């Protein structure tokens, strides 16, 4: 009879543990579903951001192209020589008569 009593107590304790574990499994399942939904939403958001970035990049390239083309057709156009010039004095003196212009 004493052994049966101990076994019944053990059964009751194991049933309680079993119920607690089932509750934890259910809670984890709910959390897993929520995280899966959040992950799907975040992936969708990232895809939209990537598409927006591509669109902005294309727009930027188009605007740069238009700017370059606009410069090529603009009525006030710089000569097609190098954009940078520098001056060198032939003697160490900075007299305007002895300054020569070198183009790169």
Residues 31-57 have a mean pLDDT of: 98
Task: Select the more confidently predicted residue: 80 or 9.
Answer: 9
3-state secondary structure the chain: CHHHHHHHHHHHHHHHHHHHHHHHHHHHHHHHHHHHHHHHHHHHHHHHHHHHHHHHHHHHHHHHHHHHHHHHHCCCCCCCCCCCEEEEECCCCCCHHHEEEEEC
pLDDT tens for each residue of 52-61:
999 999 999 9
């Amino acid at each position: 009879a004493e052994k049966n009593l101990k076994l019944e107590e053990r059964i009751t304790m194991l049933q309680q543990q079993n119920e607690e574990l089932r509750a934890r499994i259910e809670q984890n399942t709910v959390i897993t579903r929520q995280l899966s939904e959040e992950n799907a939403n975040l992936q969708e958001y990232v895809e939209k951001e990537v598409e927006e970035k591509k669109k902005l990049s294309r727009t930027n390239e188009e605007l740069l192209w238009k700017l370059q083309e606009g410069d090529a057709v603009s009525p006030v156009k710089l000569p097609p020589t190098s954009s940078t010039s520098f001056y060198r004095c032939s003697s160490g003196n900075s007299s305007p008569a002895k300054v020569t212009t070198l183009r790169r």
